[in-house]
Every structure is written in C-alpha cells, then in structure tokens.
Structure 1
C-alpha cells in the first residue's frame, strides 16, 4: 500500500513520517507539503500514487480537496491531528505518528 504523508512545508512532520515507514516490508511511503515553500510540493501525481493520505491537520485536507478535487474524489484521507511543534525525528513526534497511523495499516 502506498502511504502519503502531508504537512505544510514538508520539513518536520511529514518527512519524519516518511522516514518511519520508508523501509516497511509491506508499505511504501512518501511525503509532501501544501505550501509553495514546501521542500517537496504536493502534486496530482503524488495523490494519484497514494492509496492512503495522512494529513497532519484538518486544514491540509481542506487544501488538498480544494486544489485537487478530481484526485481527491473517493480518496481515503486521515487527519492525524499532529500540531506543528516538533523537530525532525523528535521522539514524541515519532510516537505520535506511530500511534495515530497504526489503526489504518
């Protein structure tokens, strides 16, 4: 299953999630951001690739739905409710991501 993790700037939260699941034996993971300044910007191609989309906040889901209505139609999007208050690979962030994602895998 292809997992896509989305946050705003693709600097801390979504790259951490991608790193956690990068070497998973069953799933493939990628990450992107919704902002123009994102390290890797969200695209229609990434959304088409993804089987499951995990967003860090409700506003990320809203942005995806507005910008990519065709690609988002029927797409499973899970809001993780993880605030932007962590650094890359922060232990608490890792625990939060693993706990929030586990029920869907």
Structure 2
C-alpha cells in the first residue's frame, strides 16, 4: 500500500476531495490536511513521515511545507498540482 497525502490551505475543499477520490482506488492509503493553523486538520510532522508521496494544490503550500519540514521532506516525492483553492468540495470540474 502506498500512502498519499494531499495538502491545501484549510483542508476544506480540494484536498478532502482528492482524499475521497483516491481512497476509492485499491492499493492506496490516503490522508488530507491543510497548511493553515485554521485548517480542519493541520498538517504535522507525523503526516509527513507517514506519506510516501505528497501532493500540494498550490506552490504556496509547497513553500510552506519546505519551510516547516525541510528535513522530513528530503527523500519524499512532493508534487504541485497547480489547483487553485477556488473549488468547492467535490466540484465536478475539480474532480475532473
């Protein structure tokens, strides 16, 4: 099983949507979190350590993770999806 972590700002719309979609696929454990202190679930060191692959929605999330967890990210694949935080949860365009 591969552990996937999806990150957005407040863990309210894009990253929980990705979590739901990828959780349906066999072979993956999936979590989502946010970079904001006001996130529904704020990303922490345990999330970074758990993840095999990390996906961020925007460059600002990537920069925040690198600033806060540089050492933990040294050998982790970190991908920016370039998805703005403009979509609602399970928005059809976001899902596509």
TM range (shorter): over 0.9
How much does 1:23 deviate?
2.6
Q: Aligned-pair RMSD on alpha carbons?
A: 0.7
Q: TM-score normalised to the size of structure 2?
A: 0.96
Detail structure 1 runs of 4+ shifted over 3 Å in the superposition.
Answer: none
Compare the two structures and name the one with the higher helix fraction. 1
Separation of aligned partners in 1, 2:67 and 2:57: 17
Structure number with greater CO (CA < 8 Å, separation at least 6) is 2
Q: What SS class does the counterpart of residue 72 from structure 1 fall into? A: coil
Matched residue, 2:67: 66
Q: TM-score normalised to the size of structure 1?
A: 0.88
State the number of aligned residues: 95
Point out where structure 2 has 5 or more consecutive residues left out of the alignment.
none
Per-residue CA shift, 1:25-58, capped at 9, x if unaligned?
1111100000000000001000000000000001
Matched residue, 2:33: 32
How much does 1:13 deviate?
0.3
